Structure 1
Amino acid sequence: MALGHNVKSSSLDLLMEDHCPEELSTPAAAPDASQAAAMIINPNPKDWTESSKSLRRFKCFPKLPIELRLKIWDHALPDEHVIEVLWNETTWSFATDCAIPPALHACSESRTNMLRHYTCLEFNTSMLYEDDEPQADNCIFRTYIDFTTDILYLSYASCALERAGWNFRHFLTQLQEISPDLQHIAFDVLKPVDMVSSKLVKFKKLQTISLVFSDYFPKIGLVWQNPPKQHHQPITSHTLKYEEDLELLRYSPKGAGVDRKIDRNAGGELYRSLRRTLEFKGRMYSQTLIAQRMDKEIVDELKFKAIDVLRERKEFSKYKALQRKGKTVTTG
């Protein structure tokens, strides 16, 4: 059974209202269990006569069979995340601001169920370039990731270009030692292929390499020479497929999503430019990975996608204000 984004959010809001069972044992089913389940899965049926206020809390959830409760928790699973890896200039270490899925904190039952899908990545990423440089010991990178759907994004946004390659290679080296199960990774399209390809060889389960074509307002430091003119929204993923149309998947960190397509003719030069660049970079990555002795069967199955990241409007407003004053743009 597939649920829309709004239904997932509504279900999770209901379940986090302290209705979680303390134990995982199966309680006796309540007489109205089927209606209660329908309420969670479809919170706004047309034939209900009860007021909306009385339906904000669902106190019968602990009385549902455990099999049904676990299915409901599965429907609370978020869609794919872009987990952005950020470089901290103060501590000289990596971190991320990607939100932890709320169901991991709802109750012990939801957490147990969520951990069937999510893995906690936790390792020390701090490093030292020069003895006199600032350094914080034991700076831990920590996030929860679903390897089957989530994309790990190592961006230029948080790191000066001249040392980006060294930093990313260090991060990937640490990551492959802790968890080689990474399946989806993203880089800026400007990043030289050989900068990171040697560190991808050990990820035997790698399925997609996404290229970020226009991260218009990075969170730290780097800003594109030509600022964007269109309206800015939260993080956005545009997925380029090899079919006739360019399919765009838009989503925010909160999980709301809207699907739309751009026709190959209506998209015009944008469509053709994206396709040419993606196919060219895809060939370069494939050839380089094979040269680095990655299994050819893995390389042949790799998919290459295009991602377009748009930052929030408040970030763009801050950038424009600093630009008018002629100041260096740095955001936190």
Structure 2
Amino acid sequence: MFSLFQNLPLELRHEIWRHYVPAPRVVKTRYDISTGRVLPGSAPPILLHVCPESRSFLLSAGIGFSMQFGTLASPAAVCINAKTDAVQIDYYALKHNDIKTTEFKTIVHLELYGVSLYGEQSVDILRQLRNFQNLDTISLVTSPKPSLGFLVQTQDHSNVVLYLAYAGAIAALASELEVDMKKPQYDTWKKPLLNIIRPRYDGSRFTEDGEFNSSWSLGVSSTHSHADFAKSTMARRLEELRRNRET
């Protein structure tokens, strides 16, 4: 930052900071089982570390970013815009109650991943999801799909077997969730749009063809590269489609 920057009018400085506010992102997190902490898995917004003023601007109510997933012993370390970012969380963190209830209320787009999803009952997942009162979308993230080049190079098909087993389990779980969310005990809960995301080892992610939930009558097919996915996630598309249907 050049030395005369602080001499600029406050409004102009804020306008400069505004150009560096991130667009909607997929914010990855990682779960430290030894400490029970949810830690960053994605690079933080640059404004968080430029200077105290840029950090305050980013975390102001008008911009909408906040630090989340702190504990009594450790400060919050994940910077998100809870209204626009899709937040990816290891289901193990939910299962073991290592997320504060206040943070449940802020997240709008949630992505669940992790081996703890494998074999989990939909009723147990819904018991956790009901704590999220403002969800618009919930995505189940499978393990990465092995590339053909990787399989040819290694001649190891065990990864394919593991991928197919896990992907099949996630698909079955999504079907169970779709059915169970329609049960009377969930009538008062704001039901999110359901989605499955399948990542590849190269960083790209893709979604299933067709409808995930026939009650919303949404048929969506999409493939995204690593570069454009933050601006064009399935969650964004589903949200836009639903808004268009309501207008």
The verdict on a shared fold, with TM-score over 0.5 as the criterion, is yes
Residue 181 (1) aligns with residue 106 (2): yes
Does the 8 Å CA contact 2:37/2:69 hold for their aligned counterparts? no
Quickly say closer, same or farther: Cα 1:79–1:311, change in 2 above 3 A: farther
Q: Which runs of 5+ in 1 are unaligned?
A: 1-15, 22-61, 126-137, 157-163, 217-226, 232-273, 314-332
- 1:124 correspondence with 2:49: no
1:213–1:108 distance in 2 versus 1, CA, 3 Å: same
Inter-partner Cα distance in structure 2 for 1:18 and 1:195 = 55
In structure 1, the partner of 2:54 is 110
Partner of 1:86: 30
Matched-pair contact (CA < 8 Å) for 1:118–1:144: yes
Pair 1:17–1:311, CA change in 2 (3 A) = farther
Identity %: 21
- 1:99 pairs, out of 24, 43, 48, with 43
Shift of 1:197: 1.4
Question: How far apart, in 2, do the equivalents of 1:292 and 1:71 lie?
Answer: 49
In the superposition, the TM-score normalised over structure 2's length comes to 0.56
Q: For residue 190 of structure 2, what is the aligned residue in structure 1?
A: 298
Q: 1:144 to 1:306 in 2, by over 3 A?
A: same
Per-residue CA distance 1:106-165 (angstroms, 9 max, x = gap): 23332222112211114339xxxxxxxxxxxx4665211100122221247xxxxxxx4x
Q: 1:76 aligns with which of 17, 20, 34?
A: 20
Q: 1:93 to 1:120 in 2, by over 3 A?
A: closer
- 1:147 to 1:89, Cα distance in 2 relative to 1, 3 A: closer
In structure 2, the gaps of 5 or more residues are 151-166, 204-247
Opposite residue 111 of structure 1, the aligned amino acid is: R
**Greater C-alpha radius of gyration:** 1
How far 1:229 moved relative to its partner? 2.9
The answer to whether the aligner puts 1:202 opposite 2:131 as a matched pair is yes
Match of 2:77, as an amino acid? R
Deviation at 1:93? 4.4
**In 2, distance between residues paired with 1:205 and 1:91?**
28
The alignment's C-alpha RMSD in Å is: 3.6
Q: Match of 1:78, SS?
A: coil
Secondary structure of 1:206's counterpart equals coil
* Matched length: 178
1:153 aligns with 2:97: no
Alignment partner of 1:228 out of 136, 141, 147: 147
| Cα distance, 1:73 vs structure 2 | 1.9
Q: What is the TM-score with the length of structure 1 in the denominator?
A: 0.44
